[in-house]
């Protein structure tokens, strides 16, 4: 029973956990607050600006080079998405995705995920956030979710800009694949959404890896650069045929498997394998990030 108190004097009841009355862990560090903080940062604003201007730059390059004439030498007989990039707005969008899959989108995901926790530690604000108090698991979950939302939004900005710019300059007609298959807009746009979903999933591998590094270091550049460098190394290893079946376990092995969505019927075998590998790596690195952070002695 609570001890009696004189009339007019309020008795403050404290939870058994030692928390102040009215404290609810689920109300701390709301996602919209974290997103608002991240959107105010220059690196976020510059990243979204680059995602907007990159398709414009590629479009300009294609326009300038369309009538560039013969450059001499042997003709390039290789067939790729760049050969049909100016056929329609859909083709231009596919070309933009093909051009950014291997490196540019990797950097974007690495930046948002790798900078999320390490930057707070570098500024010395991480310990104050935990002392607010924000439960560690919730803080990390909100950081991860905010990085994911920003990464998906950046991918969406890239695709929407490419669709609009490409449509205005090259028309809104059917998509022409490099092997001669024509996809009507009603068929091509759902496939484009499938491609976007596959990219968003497979890029979570590098994002989760960068997030794990971000939990282990106080230097954002180390987390971001470490993730990008690792993917580059994996890409080099993936080009070595002598590795055989071991290449199937590299996160870069099926990064371009989304081109199977351009076939009729759709070839989803490689995409399924890539998705399974991506889910496995994402679960592994996300779990390692939470495991390390829950045990970490936060002093910065």
What DSSP string describes 241-294? GGGGGGGGGSTTTTTTGGGGGGSSS---HHHHHHHHHHHHHHHHHHHHHHHHHH
Helices (H), 203-245: 204-216, 220-238
* Rg over CA atoms, the chain: 24
Q: What is the mean pLDDT of residues 234-246?
A: 94
Over the stretch 179-215, which tens digit does the pLDDT of each residue have? 777 899 999 999 999 999 999 999 999 999 999 999 9
Q: If you search the block for the tokens 């205005």, which residue do you land on?
A: 168
Residue 171 falls inside a structural domain:
yes
User: Within a domain: residue 11?
Assistant: no
Between 97 and 121, residue with greater pLDDT = 97
pLDDT at 10 over 60: no
Query: 3-state DSSP call for residue 176?
Result: strand
The pTM of this model reads 0.85
How far apart CA 127 and CA 139 sit, in angstroms, is 11
Q: Is 8's pLDDT higher than 70? A: no
Between residues 25 and 218, the one the model is more confident about? 218
Q: Is residue 72, in this structure, part of any structural domain at all?
A: no
For residue 1, tell me if it sits in a domain. no
Residue 1 has pLDDT above 50, yes or no: no
pLDDT beyond 90 at 237? yes
In DSSP terms, 183 is beta-bridged to 175
Residue 191 located in a structural domain: yes
Asked if the structure places residue 18 within a domain, the reply is no
CB burial class (10 A; 0-12, 13-18, 19+) of residue 130?
Answer: middle
- Residue written as token pair 């999320």: 116
- Report which of residues 130 and 211 the model is more confident about: 211
169/54 Cα distance (integer angstroms): 15
Q: How far apart are CA 269 and CA 288, in angstroms?
A: 29
Q: For residue 189, how many other CB atoms are within 10 A of its CB?
A: 15
Instruction: Give the pLDDT band of residue 168 (cuts 50, 70, 90).
Output: very high
Which residue, among 175, 167, 168, 172, has the nearest Cα to 191 in the 3D structure? 175
Task: Give the whole-angstrom CA distance, residue 22 versus residue 225.
Answer: 42
pLDDT value at position 194? 96
Task: State the chain's mean pLDDT as an integer.
Answer: 85
Q: Are strands 175-176 and 182-183 parallel, antiparallel or unpaired?
A: antiparallel
Of the pLDDT bands very low, low, confident and very high (cuts 50, 70, 90), residue 156 is very high
Quick one: pLDDT at residue 294? 84
Residue 16 lies in a domain: no
Structural domain of 247: 29-63+80-295
pLDDT band at 65 (very low <50, low <70, confident <90, very high): low
Q: What is the pLDDT of residues 275-296, one digit of tens each?
A: 999 999 999 999 999 998 887 7
pLDDT tier for residue 177 given thresholds of 50, 70 and 90: confident
Distances, alpha carbon 162 to alpha carbons 1, 55, 67, 203, in Å: 68, 5, 21, 19
- Asked, for residue 7, whether it belongs to a domain, the answer is no
Query: How many independent structural domains does the chain possess?
Result: 1
247 touches 235 (CB < 8 A): no
* pLDDT given for residue 77 in this prediction: 40
């Amino acid at each position: 029973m609570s001890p009696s108190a004189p009339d007019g004097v309020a008795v403050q009841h404290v939870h058994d956990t030692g928390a102040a009355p009215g404290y609810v862990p689920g109300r701390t560090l709301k996602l919209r607050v974290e997103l608002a903080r991240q959107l105010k940062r220059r690196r976020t604003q510059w990243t979204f600006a680059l995602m907007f201007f990159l398709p414009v730059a590629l479009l300009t390059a294609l326009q300038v080079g369309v009538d560039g004439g013969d450059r001499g030498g042997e003709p390039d007989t290789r067939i790729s998405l760049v050969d049909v990039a100016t056929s329609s707005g859909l083709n231009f969008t596919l070309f933009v995705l093909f051009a950014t899959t291997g490196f540019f989108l990797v950097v974007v995901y690495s930046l948002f995920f790798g900078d999320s926790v390490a930057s707070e530690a570098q500024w010395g604000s991480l310990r104050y956030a935990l002392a607010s108090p924000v439960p560690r698991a919730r803080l990390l979950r909100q950081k991860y979710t905010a990085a994911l939302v920003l990464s998906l939004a950046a991918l969406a900005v890239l695709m929407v800009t490419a669709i609009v710019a490409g449509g205005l300059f090259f028309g809104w007609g059917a998509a022409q694949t490099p092997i001669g298959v024509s996809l009507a807009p009603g068929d091509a746009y759902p496939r484009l959404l499938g491609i976007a979903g596959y990219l968003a999933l497979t890029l979570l591998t590098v994002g989760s890896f960068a997030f794990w590094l971000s939990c282990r270091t106080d230097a954002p550049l180390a987390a971001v650069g470490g993730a990008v460098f690792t993917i580059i190394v994996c890409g080099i290893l993936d080009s070595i045929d002598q590795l055989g079946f071991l290449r199937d376990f590299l996160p870069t092995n099926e990064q371009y498997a989304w081109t199977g969505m351009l076939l009729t019927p759709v070839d989803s075998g490689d995409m399924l394998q890539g998705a399974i590998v991506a889910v496995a790596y994402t679960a592994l690195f996300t779990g390692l990030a939470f495991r390390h952070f829950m045990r970490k002695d936060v002093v910065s």
